Copies of this chain bind each other. A is one copy, B any other.
């Protein structure tokens, strides 16, 4: 019953196989290999345009490199209060960005609403050079609350951002989980709606350690290679990073894995709801947030269930409830859900 994170899951077998298959003979280092160029082509295909892509081993690296690339050191990056870049990356955006600033915005269901951004932006400009400069917006898709921005929501946010000259970044650590929920293409969910740079995650989806920064306008990617290298994020045996991505993106694997993870979250959510437990946010990706009675939480932990509690200020939960985050993945088994749900009966 491991619902701690999608990164506690193993590597999807097809991806592990790809690593093993790539382990034949010699290959040029640092991305000058066939796996890498193959991934680059595949990303162009998936996004239906020329893109520049840079593989890195972690999502934190992808986010921080992307943000530093689109925002100057005196720039302000707007993001949701609960976004990973604001809460869980130990200041990576600030470090890579030479001292840029994150401005955390509130928002229901883990999402920033266009009027909130607009109001925040109204506080910038007109006080140069004393105030930092509104520079970028970072959206998390799927969000940390397990919700999803609709394509028109992304477009609306990007419109607000673009009117003020901001670049827009998407943290897509769970990009596939979001995509398979929407009746939309990768292109529609990104550049066609105004996204400039994407952290395209594969690790949570089933890879070992593989993320891509996708810069939709290749012209804007100049010197990104240097930026990655000097951050220590250019792998020497790069073929093994690329092979993961190649396998992940081959055919529909990435979508299949994401559908599986999402389906498990749906199943879990439905069963918990049926028991009368209260979901805190809509389940739209592979995360289920549920208000658990403290006693039940203790019982579940004792029984070996693994998951994290989250701060719940502002959610007005009853005093005897805690906010549990249950994460599913491609590896989640129905059995595990069954056992977990059974433990929740008669709470």
Contact = CB atoms under 8 A, between A and B. Distances in A.
Nearest to A56: B232
Of A29, A96, A130, chain B has the most CB atoms within 10 Å of the CB of: A130
A133 interface: yes
A63 to B, nearest CB: 8
Interface in A3-20: 4-5, 7-11, 16, 19-20
Given A11-B237, A24-B10, A235-B57, A228 B94 contact: no
B231 A95 contact: yes
B73 A91 contact: yes
Contacts of A59: 236
Contacts of A87: 130-131
A168 interface: no
Nearest to A336: B26
Contacts of A226: 72, 74, 90, 128-129, 132-133
Nearest to A75: B91
Contacts of A133: 223, 226
Contacts of A131: 87-88, 90
Interface stretch (A97-105, A106-114, A285-293): A97-105
A26 B11 contact: no
Contacts of A235: 57-58, 209
B128 A57 contact: no
Nearest to A86: B101
A95 B230 contact: yes
Contact of A94 (B7, B61, B94, B123): B94
A23 interface: yes
Contact of A16 (B19, B30, B62, B236): B19
Contacts of A128: 225-226
A240 interface: yes
Contacts of A231: 61, 92, 95, 231-232
Interface of A: 2, 4-5, 7-11, 16, 19-20, 23-30, 56-65, 72-74, 87-92, 94-102, 123, 127-133, 203-204, 208-209, 223, 225-237, 240-241, 306, 311, 331
8 contacts: A10-B25, A11-B23, A16-B19, A16-B23, A57-B209, A65-B232, A74-B90, A94-B94
